[in-house]
Amino acid sequence: MHDELVRHRTLWDAEPWLELDMSTPQLKALLLIFEEEGIRMRELARRLGGSFSNATVLVDRLVDRGFVERLADPQDRRVVLVRAADEGQQLIDQLVTSWRTLSTPLLEALAPEDLSKVHEALRVLLEAAQQNR
C-alpha cells in the first residue's frame, strides 16, 4: 500500500529525490551519519555491512562534497568520528520535507475516526522502531 502512495507523484514533491546526485551507498551512509551526533568510522562500516576501507571511500566522497565532516573523538584522539555537516543536514531536511508534502494533505483529508486509526498505527510503528534500535 505504501508503494501505491509513492506512485502518486502528483501528491508529493519528488524533485529533491530526482535531483539527488549520489549513489545509494552514499545516501545510506549519509542517513546513518545524520542519525548520530558523531559516529565512529568502524561503527559506520559495521552498520553499512561493508569493510572499513569501503566506508572510508564513501565518507571521503561525502566530505569532498561538503555533506560530512571528520573529527577526532574527544575521549580517544586516535578514533575518527564523522558527522553530518550543515550541507548534509540541509539535504536530509529537503528529502524529509518532500515526504511530508505527501502525508500532510492526505492526513488533513481524513475523517477524525480514520485519523485516529492512522495515529494509532504510527504509534505502533514507532514503538517497533524503538525496540529494534
Residue 10 has pLDDT above 60, yes or no: no
Lowest mean pLDDT: which of 7-11, 30-34, 55-59, 126-130? 7-11
Q: In sequence order, which residues have a C-beta less than 8 Å from that of residue 47 and are 6 or more positions away? A: 32, 39
For 20, 99, 101, the CA distances from 11, given in Å and listed in that order, are 19, 10, 7
Instruction: Tell me the C-alpha distance between 107 and 94, whole Å.
Output: 20
Q: Band of the pLDDT at 107, cuts 50, 70, 90?
A: confident
Span 53-100, pLDDT tens digits = 999 999 999 999 999 999 998 888 889 999 999 999 999 998 888 777
Amino acid at 43: E
Sorted by where each starts, the structural domains of the chain and their CATH numbers stand as 2-132 (1.10.10.10)
Residue 119 has pLDDT above 70, yes or no: yes
**So what's the pLDDT on residue 9?**
53
**So what's the pLDDT on residue 133?**
61
Instruction: Answer yes or no: are the C-beta atoms of 107 and 118 closer than 8 Å.
Output: yes
Q: Band of the pLDDT at 16, cuts 50, 70, 90?
A: confident
